Amino acid sequence: MSRSTVLATLLLLVLGPQVARAQLSDRASWAAYAANAYQVVPNVTYLTADNYESKLDLYAPRNPAAPVPVVIYYHGGFWVRGSKEASVLNILPYMEMGVAVVNVEYRLGRIALAPAAVEDARCALRWVLRNAEQYRFDTSRIVVTGGSAGGHLSLTTGMLTPEAGLDARCPGPEPMRVAGIINWYGVTDVADLLAGPNRRDPVLEWMGGMPNQMEIAKRVSPLEYVRRDLPPILTIHGDADPTVPYEHAVRLHRALDAAGAENELLTIPGGRHGGFTLPETVRIFDTIQRFFEENGILERPQ
Query: Within a domain: residue 302?
Result: no
Contact (Cβ atoms closer than 8 angstroms) between residue 143 and residue 180: yes
Residue 91 DSSP symbol: G
- Look up residue 94 and give its amino acid: Y
Query: Within a domain: residue 139?
Result: yes
Nearest C-alpha neighbor of 136 from the set 62, 37, 73, 40? 62
Nearest C-alpha neighbor of 210 from the set 117, 120, 106, 114? 114
Mean pLDDT within 19-31: 54
Mean pLDDT within 40-57: 97
Q: 25-33 long-range CB contacts below 8 Å, 24 or more apart?
A: 30/5, 30/96
Range of lowest pLDDT (15-29, 58-72, 167-181): 15-29
Residue 37: per-residue pLDDT: 86
- Look up residue 34 and give its amino acid: A
Residue 27: per-residue pLDDT: 60
- Look up residue 254 and give its amino acid: R
Query: Within a domain: residue 300?
Result: no
Query: Within a domain: residue 299?
Result: no
Calculated CA dihedral for residues 274, 91, 6, 132, nearest 10 degrees: 140
Query: Within a domain: residue 133?
Result: yes
pLDDT digits (tens, 9 = 90+) for 114-123: 999 999 999 9
Query: Within a domain: residue 301?
Result: no
Residue 36: per-residue pLDDT: 81
- Look up residue 157 and give its amino acid: T
Dist. CA 120–CA 131, nearest whole Å: 16
Phi, psi of 297 (to 5 degrees): -75, -45
Residue 251: per-residue pLDDT: 98
Nearest C-alpha neighbor of 56 from the set 80, 85, 36, 81? 85
Dist. CA 145–CA 274, nearest whole Å: 14
**Host domain of residue 66:** 3-294
Average pLDDT over the chain, rounded to whole? 91
CB atoms within 10 A of CB 77: 20
Query: How would you classify the pairing of strands 38-49 and 52-61?
Result: antiparallel
pLDDT digits (tens, 9 = 90+) for 185-243: 999 999 999 988 999 999 999 999 888 999 999 999 999 999 999 999 999 999 999 99
Count of the separate structural domains present in the chain: 1
Query: Within a domain: residue 44?
Result: yes
Q: What is the CATH number of the domain that holds 170?
A: 3.40.50.1820
